[in-house]
Amino acid sequence: MRYAQIPSSLFIKNRQDFTAKMEPNSIAILTSNDVMPNNADDEMGFSQNNDLFYLSGVDQEESILVLYPDAALPANREILFVKETSELIKIWEGDKLTKEKAFEVSGVKNVKWLQDFDLTLQYMAFEADTFYLGHNEHKKTLTAEMLTQQDRMIAKCKEKYPLHNYRRAAKITRELRQIKSEEEIVLMQQAANISVSGFKRVLKAVKPGMMEYELEAELTYEFVRNGAKRHAFMPIVASGANACALHYNTNDSICKEGDMILMDFGVCYANYNSDTTRCFPVNGKFSERQKEVYNAVLHCLKEGSKLLKPGAVSAEYEKQMASLVEQQLINLGLLDAEKVKMQDPENPLYKKYFMHGTAHFIGLDVHDVGLYTRPFEAGMVLTCEPGIYIAEEGIGCRLENDYLITENGNINLTAEMPIEIDEIENLIKG
């Protein structure tokens, strides 16, 4: 592993919290993600099912966790199934989890080989009344057109055990994962720290004539050097007018003299993520107009982040953020105050320059699971990311930090990442 082993006590506690919410006499089955093919005999990098990781700490393909808290035999209350390793597998793929190591990582005492799953489940299934099965329930899921390991498990169970009741495991994990434990915050802070190092490296490297992907390479080097598993998502390195395309990530343009770069990037460390955005001048000096726009967005970030506190509701928070940005657009001369007063509330004028929300949950997923109808609570981690995009001027600016909500305000996990104009210019100058 690229990260220090996470104490199994975290996963033991997570399982206890999960099983406490299960109906009596029910079995939960969580599966790993598939290893996805690329071309020919190539494979994409493996990414674990985050619900399985949350409950077991297992970061390996072909793994299944079964929880049956009311099982008559104590050994059957938690069973972890992992791929049986061998000397041949070790030669070709390297070390895999042994039963002993799987127990050490997860805290699950009963570890079996994967080929024992079907028969083991059959012995227990007819004693149970209900199955909890996992599925990707994120509202922006991208797997709807393909069958996943979870889809196949659902079909398999319903075919073999059609008269059982079925429940959604994701409904429980969605509720639990919103509140981060102390151990999780430590991991997210490490992801944020690596992001800070990456950004500082980019500021030292940037100069006119560079390609955007060269700055992406600086990020990648710093991330890997510090033990990150991968980029949290495809980084955006958008210079000049490219910054007005919200999800631009081809990163293949020249960074020109006089342009400002918008860089939206994150680190995945131990499967936990950061998500940050910064803007900076290619030549090391913000123009007067760039300063005006930048300071307007920075004002919205500073004031808006204060709204992330216990009891706040996402919909109301987003309205307040929109009002902050709207006022700055008026100050910048982009909107007319009188026309704003008379605008159609269903089609506000600010949408021309500010088109997205500003706070999303973050954790094991960059856009982490959770209900936005649930009031914010201590232990939640959210981004704050206002932006202003002026296509006619070729200026796009977004600034983003990650905030841990506490009972006494919030803590900026990315506070060490330079954001004031003077410190950014000074770091570029060296």
Predicted confidence band of residue 8 (pLDDT cuts 50, 70, 90): very high
The full set of domain ranges for the chain reads 8-177, 182-429
Q: Return the ∠ at Cα 344 (arms to 340 and 349), rounded to 5°.
A: 45
Distance, CA of 178 to CA of 155 (rounded, Å): 29
The pLDDT value recorded for residue 411 is 98
- As a CATH number, domain 182-429 is 3.90.230.10
The pLDDT value recorded for residue 45 is 83
Distance, CA of 326 to CA of 140 (rounded, Å): 27
The pLDDT value recorded for residue 350 is 98
Identity of the amino acid at 352: K
132-141 pLDDT per residue, tens: 999 888 777 6
Q: Which residues pair with 405 in a beta bridge?
A: 410
The burial class, CB within 10 Å (0-12 / 13-18 / 19+), for 38 is exposed
Closest-CA residue to 184 (of 312, 313, 13, 308): 13
**Average pLDDT in the chain:** 96
Distance, CA of 7 to CA of 107 (rounded, Å): 9
The pLDDT value recorded for residue 143 is 57
283-300 pLDDT per residue, tens: 999 999 999 999 999 999
Other CB atoms within 10 Å distance of the CB of residue 416 = 14
Percent of the chain with pLDDT over 70: 99
Identity of the amino acid at 419: I
25-53 pLDDT per residue, tens: 999 999 999 888 888 777 788 899 999 99
Under a CB-based contact definition with an 8 Å cutoff, are residues 233 and 142 in contact? no
23 DSSP 8-state letter: P
337-392 pLDDT per residue, tens: 999 999 999 999 999 999 999 999 999 999 999 999 999 999 999 999 999 999 99
70-108 pLDDT per residue, tens: 999 999 999 999 999 888 988 888 889 999 999 999 999
Distance, CA of 139 to CA of 364 (rounded, Å): 16
Other CB atoms within 10 Å distance of the CB of residue 256 = 13
Q: How far is CA 196 from the centre of its chain?
A: 17
Distance, CA of 254 to CA of 242 (rounded, Å): 11
Q: Which helix (H) or strand (E) holds 237?
A: strand 236-239
For residue 196, is pLDDT > 60?
A: yes
Predicted confidence band of residue 144 (pLDDT cuts 50, 70, 90): low
The CA–CA distances, whole Å, from 385 to 304, 379, 402 equal 9, 19, 9
290: helix, coil or strand?
A: helix
**DSSP strand E in 300-394: where?**
381-384, 387-390
- As a CATH number, domain 8-177 is 3.40.350.10
